[in-house]
Amino acid sequence: MAIVVGSYVRSKANGRAGKVLMIHDDDLPYKVAFLDPHVLPHSDWFAKDAVEICHETAKKIEEEEKRRCDEECASAKKAEEELALKKAAEEAAAKKKAEEQAAAAAALKKQAEEKAAAAAAAAKKKAEDDALAKKKAEEEAAAKKKAEEEAAAKKKAEGEAAAKKKAEEDAAAKKKAEEEAAAKKKAEGEAAAKKKAEDEAAAKKKAEEEAAAKKKAEGEAAAKKKAEEEAAAKKKAADEAAAKKKTEEAALAKKKADEAAAKKKSEEAAAAKKKSEEAAAAAKKAEDEAAATKKDEEEAA
């Protein structure tokens, strides 16, 4: 397996393990950062035959990274669950608080209405008492009317003026009580509206903070994902380089096999040609011998 940037290697001289940071094309091509930072030097350059791939260290680093990743995922999941529980509790508390505020406002409204009703009843009773007093005064005045007409008329006029003034004062007091009750109700409504606006502003701020925290977590997750993708791309490149080397070696082996087969075929063709030539020569020799025999026979005859 070829040594590339990112490979975990071990020094053949002292057994120290480390990670390849750079590769140069010279006598000391590999720069290695050691994994035991408490020992000096922290890094060094090595020749090609001075280091070897350390599968044990690579496996250990991968297991450590997987364990760290699992712990981070578990921690993130726990934080999300705690945040959801906290949010649910806060929403329940806010709902309860709103219900309590609504109940308090209803109690204040009922109290104001009872006070207004009591004031109206008191004013009505006072008016009835005044009417009874007026009726009594009129009856007394009628009894004395004959003897004291001018005094009675004057007294009656004064009584009617006093009664009118008293009625106007009672009406003014009733109106004032109603205006005070309305002003109090308005002030309570404004206070409730102000409190509601403050609660909504606080909820909005909290939502913005939660959105910012979520965005930050998503950014960190994206950065982590990018790092994993880069590591995967680096591993893929190393695998492709190894596969390319393996393909080249297979092609070289095939080429050698093809050359050997061609050589063998050429030798077999040469042997066949030689055998054919020998057979032709033997046939020609036999023909020559037969011709000579025939000639001898003819001469003898």
- Give the whole-number percent of the chain exceeding pLDDT 90: 65
Q: What is the pLDDT of residue 137?
A: 83
In contact, 9 and 18? CB cutoff 8 Å: yes
| Helices and strands (H, E) in the chain, number of each type | 2, 5
Instruction: Flag whether pLDDT at 102 surpasses 80.
Output: yes
Instruction: Flag whether pLDDT at 141 surpasses 90.
Output: no
Q: Helix, strand, coil: what percent of the chain each, to 5?
A: 80, 10, 10
Structure tokens at 30: 């590999």
In contact, 36 and 273? CB cutoff 8 Å: no
Q: Quick one: average pLDDT of 8-12?
A: 95
Strand ranges in the chain using DSSP code E only, listed in sequence order: 8-11, 17-23, 30-34, 43-46, 51-53
Q: Quick one: average pLDDT of 270-298?
A: 92
Q: Quick one: average pLDDT of 235-252?
A: 92
Instruction: Flag whether pLDDT at 297 surpasses 80.
Output: yes
Q: Quick one: average pLDDT of 89-104?
A: 90
How far is Cα 36 from Cα 22, in angstroms, rounded to an integer?
18
Q: Quick one: average pLDDT of 195-219?
A: 92
